[in-house]
Amino acid sequence: MSSNLCEAIAGLVTPGTAQSLEMRFRWAASRPAPVLPREVTFDNNTQPILLAMAQQLRESSIIEDYNLFGPVRHLTSADVGNGGTIRVVMMGPPGRGRIVTIALREADYRLAHQAHGADQWISCTGELLRAKGMFHLLNARDFKLVVDDGDGTNSDSTF
């Protein structure tokens, strides 16, 4: 289910246009049929619900294996030995210039602290979650400092 599909179905069941929309599904004989409904009906009174679902789906989404890179702007930790939380300025799409919050383990938090102090960028991979207008990187891995090689190019380093 996507936000676009919800809006499309909502447009088809607009009050005054249609009383209902019935969708039927058939599965290929060569594949086992999943245990799902074979028929779904949307009445015209479901339009507000579909539009609300579209909005909710748009506001919360996950991008798998997202490669985040950018400067560290804020660090928070009650005990560095247990890691901490950092905020990074996202330098790539989908939210260039937006802040991403990341919870890190001790070793990665120490690298982030080093990057922050040296005004260096970091890079890492994880699941980018957008929820209620905010970005969070979950399950951060492959955390690295982005080092300027002095010749205008950058490389990753794990120090």
Q: CA torsion, points 63, 68, 74, 80, in degrees to nearest 10?
A: 90
Average pLDDT score, the chain: 85
Could you tell me the pLDDT band of residue 130, with boundaries at 50, 70 and 90? confident
Paired tokens of 33: 């049929």
Share of the chain above pLDDT 90, in %: 42
- 23 and 73 together in one domain: no
Domain of residue 124, CATH code: 2.40.50
Taking CA atoms, 41 is separated from 37, 46, 58, 96, 149, in Å, by 11, 10, 23, 40, 60
Q: What is the pLDDT of residue 10?
A: 87
- 100 and 80 together in one domain: yes
Domain boundary among 14, 43, 59: 59
36 Cβ contact list (under 8 Å, min separation 6) = 25
Question: Which H helix or E strand runs over 51?
Answer: helix 47-59
> How many Å apart are CA 11 and CA 148, to the nearest integer?
51
Q: How many CB atoms lie within 10 A of CB 122?
A: 25
Report the domain count for the chain.
Answer: 2
- 69 and 109 together in one domain: yes
The more confidently predicted of residues 29 and 23 is 23
- 102 and 152 together in one domain: yes
- 51 and 107 together in one domain: no
pLDDT, one tens digit per residue, over 33-71 is: 677 778 888 888 888 888 888 888 777 778 899 999 999
Write out the residue range of the structural domain in which residue 8 sits.
3-59
- 15 and 68 together in one domain: no
> How many Å apart are CA 19 and CA 2, to the nearest integer?
23
Mean pLDDT is lowest, of 38-42, 132-136, 149-153, for 149-153
Could you tell me the pLDDT band of residue 157, with boundaries at 50, 70 and 90? very low
Strands 20-24 and 39-43: antiparallel
Q: What is the pLDDT of residue 142?
A: 95
- 113 and 46 together in one domain: no
- 73 and 123 together in one domain: yes
